[in-house]
């Protein structure tokens, strides 16, 4: 059986480019989702004028 | 001053818009595929011409970069500048950098330079960065270390805070996650013998090279970023003074009013302002600064997204300079080059890859596709070896050039295109601080 190396290599190139592009787009959206779910920093909350206080300072009696 | 950063949009709206854009791209691609017979010959011919132009441009760009970087290197080899050492202030801004701040300050104390001071400014950290900085406060064999703490206000404002407290005619701005090599400052200072030089950029290298992502970035810094800076330095108009090592003449900083706080790329913004004032900016390959590169794909995307949008914000801010400049013709040229590199080139690269593969498979030109791939891979390999040898770097990075164009750069370019679209429609963004691993 004779292998057509040019066709095999062309297929590898095609698949790798397409897979890379899919990976790139998917990674970008994964990044956006991660950022959207990230808790805001104190500085960002301050900038938006909504400083949230989760805990109150413990005062020993 | 009008703010360049637009009013935030809801993250869900952002996500929906991004999904809509990608769905539109996919639908158009599928329609073009299924109705390919209807796609006129004229359109195909135009696309083929565009693609051929892209390939020609790619090869031409690389030859130009190699030629001018070689000329700059040769020029530096013949540089017989008299060694005079002015007093230097090194500014180290830090925000939540407790993992790396001590290694960074320790490296600064090891500099082989006679007269300098260190000004470390904590930008309201919450992880004990300030306490770790305080351990360095005081005099260290003639080097005075001052430590300041202020409310969180961003990197640009923190740098301005440090610059205001410095007293030297030369100011070095560095990142707290960077490490300068002992002779870096000595080599960089020699360029200031030219009174028209307003700033010098250092040679930034990746220090953590232990997985494929960091090794690809190490190669990118050598082949992609430093080679370009070297070529630009031949014309004394480097277009980005990177955060890890920027050496400025105080007069130049004062002339442009310091760092502006209205973009996410304060380093690029500052560079453009200095060029616009008519100052020259050059590059010193021996002024080496090591930096910690992001180690995971999503962190790389986060970093490049910020860089891309920051550069676009700065370009938008300085758009009047695209057509006129108070300095030389190099400023508009530099800005147009940035537009090309930041906007046009990534889109062309993605398009060219997709289109070439599509055409080759559609018309059975597989041999052509393989030849195209081999040619570009060979070119990338040769350029990588050339850049690595020029910098006396690790040759083991060269094989990564095979993955560089068809894998790594493609991913970065997709991020750049999305970042550009989001900047154009004005979606909100945050600084997006990277988590440090403490590799320096």
**Angle subtended at Cα B249 by Cα B248 and Cα B255, rounded to the nearest 5 degrees:** 105
| Domain-located, residue B143 | no
If you average pLDDT over residues B355-376, what whole number do you get? 77
| Domain-located, residue B163 | no
Q: Is the pLDDT of residue B307 over 70?
A: yes
- CA-nearest residue to A22 within chain B is B411
Query: Residue B77: what pLDDT?
Result: 77
| Domain-located, residue B85 | no
For residue B126, what are its two tokens?
């919450």
How would residue B3 be classed by pLDDT, with cut points 50, 70 and 90? very low
Rounded to 10 degrees, what is the CA torsion of A6, B53, B410, B26?
A: -90
Q: Which residues of B touch A30 (CB under 8 A)?
A: 298
If you average pLDDT over residues B228-248, what whole number do you get? 90
The answer to whether B124 touches B111, Cβ cutoff 8 Å, is: no
If you average pLDDT over residues B93-116, what whole number do you get? 90
| Domain-located, residue B70 | yes
ipTM value: 0.73
From B35's Cα to the closest Cα of chain A, the distance in A is: 20
From B218's Cα to the closest Cα of chain A, the distance in A is: 20
From A12's Cα to the closest Cα of chain B, the distance in A is: 10
How would residue B397 be classed by pLDDT, with cut points 50, 70 and 90? very high
Number of domains in chain B: 1
Greater confidence (B15 vs B171) lies with: B171
| Domain-located, residue B128 | no
B353 touches chain A (CB under 8 A): yes
| Domain-located, residue B69 | yes
* Per-residue CA distances from B413 to B229, B407, B420 (Å): 20, 10, 10
| Domain-located, residue B138 | no
> Which of the residues B366, B406, B420 would you substitute to probe the A interface, choosing the one with the greatest number of A C-beta atoms within 10 Å?
B366
Q: Which residues of B touch A21 (CB under 8 A)?
A: 350, 353-354, 410, 414
| Domain-located, residue B422 | yes
* Distance from C-alpha of B43 to C-alpha of B363, rounded to nearest angstrom: 16
State the average pLDDT for chain B.
Answer: 85
Q: Helix or strand or coil: residue A13?
A: helix
Counting residues of chain B whose pLDDT is more than 90, the rounded percentage is 38
Q: Over the stretch B240-269, which tens digit does the pLDDT of each residue have? A: 899 899 999 999 999 999 999 888 888 888
The answer to whether A44 touches B405, Cβ cutoff 8 Å, is: no
User: Which of B264, B262, B269 is CA-nearest to residue B240?
Assistant: B269
**Taking the model in full, what pTM does it have?**
0.81
How would residue B165 be classed by pLDDT, with cut points 50, 70 and 90? very high
Which domain range does residue B340 map to?
1-80+177-440
Query: Residue A52: what pLDDT?
Result: 55
């Amino acid at each position: 059986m004779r292998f057509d190396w040019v066709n095999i290599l062309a297929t590898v190139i095609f698949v790798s480019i397409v897979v890379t592009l899919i990976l790139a787009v998917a990674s970008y959206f994964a990044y956006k989702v991660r950022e959207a779910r990230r808790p805001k920093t104190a500085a960002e909350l301050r900038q938006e004028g909504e400083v949230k206080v989760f805990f109150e300072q413990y005062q020993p009696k | 001053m009008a703010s360049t950063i637009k009013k935030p949009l809801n993250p869900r709206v952002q996500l929906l818009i991004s999904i809509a854009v990608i769905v539109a791209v996919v639908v158009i691609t599928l329609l073009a595929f299924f109705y390919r017979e209807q796609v006129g010959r004229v359109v195909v011919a135009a696309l083929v011409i565009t693609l051929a132009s892209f390939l020609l441009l790619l090869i031409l760009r690389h030859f130009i970069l190699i030629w001018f970087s070689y000329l700059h290197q040769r020029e530096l080899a013949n540089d017989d500048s008299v060694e005079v050492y002015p007093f230097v202030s090194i500014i180290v801004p830090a925000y939540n950098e407790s993992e790396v701040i001590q290694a960074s300050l320790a490296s600064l104390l090891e500099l082989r330079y006679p007269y300098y001071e260190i000004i470390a400014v904590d930008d309201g950290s919450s992880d004990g960065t300030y306490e770790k900085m305080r351990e360095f406060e005081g005099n260290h064999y003639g080097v005075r270390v001052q430590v300041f703490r202020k409310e969180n206000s961003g990197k640009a404002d923190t740098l301005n805070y440090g610059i205001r407290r410095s007293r030297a005619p030369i100011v070095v701005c560095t990142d707290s996650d960077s490490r300068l090599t002992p002779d870096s400052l000595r080599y960089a200072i020699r360029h200031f013998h030219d009174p028209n030089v307003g700033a010098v950029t250092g040679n930034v290298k990746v220090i953590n090279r232990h997985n494929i992502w960091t090794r690809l970035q190490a190669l990118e810094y050598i082949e992609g970023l430093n080679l370009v800076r070297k070529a630009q330095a031949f014309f004394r108009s480097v277009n980005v003074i990177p955060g890890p090592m920027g050496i400025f003449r105080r007069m130049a900083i004062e002339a442009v009013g310091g760092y502006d706080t209205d973009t996410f790329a304060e380093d690029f913004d500052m560079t453009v302002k200095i060029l616009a004032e008519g100052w020259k900016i050059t590059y010193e390959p021996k002024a080496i600064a090591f930096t910690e590169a992001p180690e995971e794909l999503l962190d790389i995307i986060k970093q490049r997204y910020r860089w891309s949008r920051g550069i676009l914000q700065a370009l938008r801010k300085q758009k009047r300079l695209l057509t006129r400049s108070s300095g030389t013709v190099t400023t508009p040229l530099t800005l147009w080059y940035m537009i090309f590199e930041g906007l046009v080139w990534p889109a062309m690269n993605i398009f060219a890859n997709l289109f070439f593969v599509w055409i080759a498979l559609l018309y059975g030109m597989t041999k052509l596709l393989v030849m195209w791939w081999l040619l570009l891979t060979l070119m990338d390999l040769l350029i990588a070896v050339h850049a690595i040898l020029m910098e006396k770097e690790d040759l083991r990075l060269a094989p990564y050039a095979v993955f560089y164009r068809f894998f790594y750069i493609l991913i970065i370019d997709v991020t750049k295109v999305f970042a550009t679209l989001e900047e154009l429609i004005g979606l909100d963004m945050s600084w997006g601080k990277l988590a440090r691993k403490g590799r320096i």
